C-alpha cells in the first residue's frame, strides 16, 4: 500500500537550517567552556558532535521520505539511525579520557560530549526547549556547580598530613600524643633520634584544613616542644 506524500512529514530548507544552526550554537557554547579550561575536546569538537547528531536525527526522521511515499519500505522507523548516536558517541568520549599514572583525566569532557550529542539529537528532532534547557543545566554543572562542589569538599573532607614535632633527646613523646585534638585521628607514629633532638612524625587525619593550623599552634605550647611543622 502506497503512502500519500502528504502523510509523510518533511522539513523545509529554513527549518533544516534553523535546526542545524541551533545545534551548532548550543554545542559551541559547551565547547567554549571546555576550551577555556584547556581541555582535550574544545569548541570545534563539541560543535561538530552536536551538528553531526542533529544531522543524523534529521536524516533518520526525514531523509527517506521519497522511499516511504513510493512504497519502497513497508515500515519506516525514524529513530533507527538516531539511536546509533548513543552507541557511537561512546567511542569518541573514550578518546577524550587520558590515564596518567593512577589518575584519570577527561571524564568530564567525555560526559560533556555525550550530553552535546543528546543536545544535537534533540535539536534535530525539533525538541528545542529540551535542548536549550539541557545546555543551560550543563553550563551550570561545569561552572558554578563545580566551584560550589569544590568548596564543599574542601570544607568537609578530612585532610591527611604529616605532623613533625621536635623534642629534646630522651624526652617522652607521650605529652605530644596526649595533646593531639580528639577530632584528629593519628594513623601512624614514628620516632627518630637525630643528635640532641628526637623527631616525632605523626600521620594525622584532620576533619578540616584549618584544624591543622590549630593543632600546630596547640602542640607548640606543649612543654619541651622545640619545633612543630605540618606537611601536606
d(CA 193, CA 170): 9
Q: What is the pLDDT of residue 4?
A: 45
Q: What is the pLDDT of residue 2?
A: 41
Q: How far apart are the first and last CA of the chain?
A: 76
| Domain termination site, one of 110, 133, 153 | 153
Q: Are residues 111 and 172 in the same domain?
A: no
Q: Are residues 226 and 192 in the same domain?
A: yes
Q: What is the pLDDT of residue 70?
A: 55
Q: What is the pLDDT of residue 1?
A: 40
Q: What is the pLDDT of residue 101?
A: 55
Residue 40, C-beta contacts closer than 8 angstroms, at least 6 positions apart: 96, 98, 106, 109
Q: Are residues 88 and 108 in the same domain?
A: yes
pLDDT digits (tens), the chain, 232 positions: 444 444 556 778 888 899 999 999 999 998 888 888 877 778 888 899 999 999 988 888 777 666 555 555 556 666 677 778 877 787 777 776 766 555 567 788 888 888 999 999 999 888 899 999 999 999 888 888 777 766 666 566 666 778 888 888 888 888 888 888 776 777 788 888 877 888 888 888 776 667 777 888 888 888 888 888 887 7
Q: What is the pLDDT of residue 3?
A: 45
| Domain termination site, one of 126, 153, 180 | 153
Q: Are residues 116 and 195 in the same domain?
A: no
Q: What is the CATH number of the domain that holds 210?
A: 3.30.70.260
Which pTM does this prediction carry? Answer: 0.59
d(CA 82, CA 63): 12
| Domain termination site, one of 132, 153, 174 | 153
**Which is it for the CA torsion 42, 114, 120, 122, positive or negative?**
negative
Domains of the chain: total: 2
Among 78, 211, 76, residue whose Cα is nearest residue 154? 211
Q: Are residues 187 and 212 in the same domain?
A: yes
Q: Which three cell numbers stand for residue 229?
A: 611543622
Q: Are residues 93 and 198 in the same domain?
A: no
Q: What is the pLDDT of residue 186?
A: 79
Q: Are residues 15 and 114 in the same domain?
A: yes
Q: Are residues 170 and 97 in the same domain?
A: no
What residue numbers bound the domain in which 207 lies?
Answer: 158-231
Q: Tell me how crowded residue 129 is: count the other CB atoms within 10 A of its CB.
A: 9
Evaluate whether 198 touches 192 at the Cβ level (below 8 Å): yes
Q: Are residues 21 and 96 in the same domain?
A: yes
Amino acid at each position: 500500500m502506497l503512502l500519500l506524500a502528504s502523510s509523510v512529514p518533511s522539513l523545509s530548507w529554513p527549518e533544516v537550517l534553523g535546526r542545524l544552526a541551533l545545534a551548532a550554537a548550543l554545542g559551541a557554547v559547551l565547547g567554549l567552556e571546555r576550551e577555556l579550561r584547556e581541555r582535550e575536546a574544545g569548541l570545534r569538537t563539541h560543535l561538530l558532535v552536536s551538528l553531526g547528531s542533529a544531522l543524523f536525527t534529521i536524516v533518520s526522521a526525514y531523509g527517506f521520505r521519497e522511499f516511504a511515499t513510493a512504497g519502497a519500505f513497508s515500515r519506516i522507523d525514524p529513530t533507527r539511525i538516531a539511536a546509533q548516536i548513543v552507541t557511537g558517541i561512546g567511542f569518541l568520549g573514550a578518546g577524550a579520557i587520558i590515564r596518567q599514572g593512577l589518575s584519570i583525566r577527561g571524564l568530564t569532557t567525555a560526559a560533556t560530549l555525550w550530553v552535546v550529542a543528546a543536545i544535537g539529537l534533540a535539536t534535530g528532532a525539533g525538541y528545542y526547549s529540551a535542548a536549550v534547557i539541557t545546555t543551560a543545566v550543563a553550563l551550570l554543572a561545569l561552572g558554578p556547580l563545580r566551584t560550589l562542589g569544590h568548596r564543599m569538599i574542601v570544607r568537609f573532607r578530612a585532610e591527611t598530613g604529616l605532623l613533625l614535632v621536635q623534642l629534646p633527646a630522651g624526652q617522652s613523646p607521650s605529652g605530644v600524643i596526649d595533646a593531639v585534638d580528639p577530632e584528629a585521628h593519628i594513623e601512624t607514629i614514628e620516632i627518630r633520634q637525630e643528635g640532641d633532638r628526637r623527631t616525632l612524625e605523626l600521620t594525622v587525619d584532620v576533619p578540616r584544613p584549618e584544624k591543622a593550623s590549630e593543632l600546630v599552634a596547640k602542640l607548640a605550647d606543649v612543654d619541651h616542644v622545640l619545633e612543630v611543622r605540618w606537611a601536606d
